Amino acid sequence: MIGLAHFLVLGAVLFSIGIFGVLTRRNIIGILMSIEIMFNAVNLNLVAFNRYLYGGDLWGQGDAIFVITLAAGEAVVGLALVLAIYRNLKTVYVEKMDLLKG
Amino acid sequence: MEAFAFYLMAALATAAAVLVVTERQVFNAALYLAAVLALVAGLFGFLGADFLAAAQVLLYVGGILVLIVFAVMLSSVRDGRVRSQINAQWLPALAVSLAVAVAVVEAVRRSSFAAADVQAAPTTGALGMLLFNEMALPFEAVSLALLAALVGAVFFSRKERPDGAAGDAK
């Protein structure tokens, strides 16, 4: 029988994989993809809590919809910034984006 | 059967997520991300969230992933094939992510949840009522955020005008 704990553990594993990706990816698009994995882990937790603890309500799923929507907005703005940076600096590697260091 | 389906989807999602963060080719990583998103949609279906599974496929796999693939192709770097995509701090990063995973799993193991087993029902109608009644204020706030994102994306991605009036200076 699959319970809430299974989903929470899966969410934790996916979230920490996302953290690893954010901390280690050199490509800025890779960092954005890792962030999307973390959003998905959080959504999984929200829906699992909704299903197993508050089965009659749908607030967890409503929150997950908002998270998906804002993730879409974040991806749009983030990728537009990535392309603007690429136009100016000709790189997508974060260690090359060192204009502030002079 | 139910447990087998869950473990299969969970194992595939975890493996695909690991490949997303370790794959050298960014384009292949985007395809593995598609696998992760589709498997999470399957897990939503497993949890009885039918509308959310459909929204996940439409918005993430059909929308965000296409944007990411566009960005990968527009910013393709020639030497991406040979150079490692992982920076030098992978060991501390691995320690941090393992610490987070162990802490959350231990917290889950120590806590007990009073499970209320409810039959899964179609959620689309009820979710619509929820979104436009109790959640109307966050709904409008999210519309405003989406408008801001739209304007911001247009602002950042427009071409420079030759007279230099467009803002992003070389």
Residue ranges covered by each domain of chain B: 1-81
CB pairs under 8 A between A and B: 242
- Nearest of A2, A6, A37, A3 to residue A20 by alpha carbon: A37
Percentage of chain B exceeding pLDDT 70: 86
A88 burial level (CB within 10 Å; 0-12, 13-18, 19+): middle
Interchain proximity A88–B170, CB inside 8 Å: yes
pTM: 0.88
- Please give the structure tokens belonging to residue B31: 């395809």
Instruction: Residue A77: list chain B partners with CB under 8 A.
Output: 149, 152-153, 156
| Domain A4-92 architecture | Orthogonal Bundle (1.10)
Sequence-distant (6+) residues with CB within 8 A of B134 are none
The closest CB to that of A33, out of B68, B105, B148, belongs to B68
Count Cβ atoms below 10 Å from residue A67 Cβ, excluding itself. Answer: 15
The tens digit of pLDDT for each residue in B20-50 reads 998 888 889 999 999 999 999 999 999 888 9
Q: Is the dihedral of CA B92, B94, B100, B103 positive or negative?
A: negative
Classify domain B1-81 at the CATH class level: mainly alpha
Interchain proximity B135–A71, CB inside 8 Å: no
Q: Report whether pLDDT(B137) > 90.
A: yes
Residue A95: predicted pLDDT: 82
The closest CB to that of A62, out of B47, B86, B127, belongs to B127
Instruction: Residue B89: list chain A partners with CB under 8 A.
Output: 23-24
Residue B169: predicted pLDDT: 46
